[in-house]
Amino acid sequence: MPPQEPQLPPVPSPLTPPSLPPQELPQPPVPTPLTPPPTYQPAGTQPPVITAPAPTAYAPAAPAKKHIPTWLKVVGVIAGLFVVILVFAAVTAISATKAPQKVSDQFVNDVQSDNASGAFALTSDSFQKATDQQQLDNLIKQAGPALQGEEKVVGRAIHKTTGIPETAVLVYTVKTTNGTKYIKTELQKSGDVWQIVNFKSSSKSLDTTLE
């Protein structure tokens, strides 16, 4: 008989742990929110009213004052005084020339209307000695037609000099068809009466200085 190989004992298979069914892990308990205990209001009383404080009103900050230099203040005061002086002088001149202007206005109207006799009656003795009525009539006939229009006083002045009668000067503009003309009258006071002592017309501007 052939020799027999020795038989090895069977190798046992590795043990497989038994499978267990899955188990859920226990969840921690959820804490229940605490409820404040109820408050009890005594009967017949009102619950307190809580009022929020009113917002504080803040006034806007005042703008900073601008500093005016001292020299500018001085200039302003001087300019103001100068204006006051001019206004006072103008008012004084108008008041002082009110009476002589009435005579001057009448003389200008007589010149424009070719009324030589009326104009001559308003002149002073010195004027009449230098220019008789016929000469004044000739002057009016020459100048009168060029002075037709509405006249307006644009200058006035009173001149007072020691030893000389008070003198008034009035300057007129006349709007004519040939442009603006100018008339200048000089009057002197004789007692309480103002009289024409000089008369001039021109196409150029005239001032209130004495001729």
pLDDT digits (tens, 9 = 90+) for 79-109: 877 676 665 555 555 666 799 999 999 999 9
Beta bridge partners of 202: 182
Confidence at 176, pLDDT banded by 50, 70, 90:
very high
The pLDDT of residue 80 is 77
Q: Measured between alpha carbons, how far apart are the two ends of the chain, in Å?
A: 186
To the question of pTM greater than 0.85 for the whole model, the response is: no
38 pLDDT band (50/70/90 cuts)? low
* CA dihedral of 95, 166, 172, 86, whole degrees rounded to 10: -50
Mean pLDDT across the stretch 138-151? Answer: 93
Report the mean per-residue pLDDT for the chain.
80
Amino acid at 13: S
Could you tell me what percent of the chain has a pLDDT over 70? 63
As a whole number of angstroms, the distance between CA 21 and CA 12 comes to: 27
- pLDDT above 90 coverage of the chain, percent: 48
Check residue 204 and give its pLDDT: 94
Separation of alpha carbons 86 and 80, rounded Å: 10
Residue 22 phi, psi dihedral angles, 5° rounding:
-60, 140
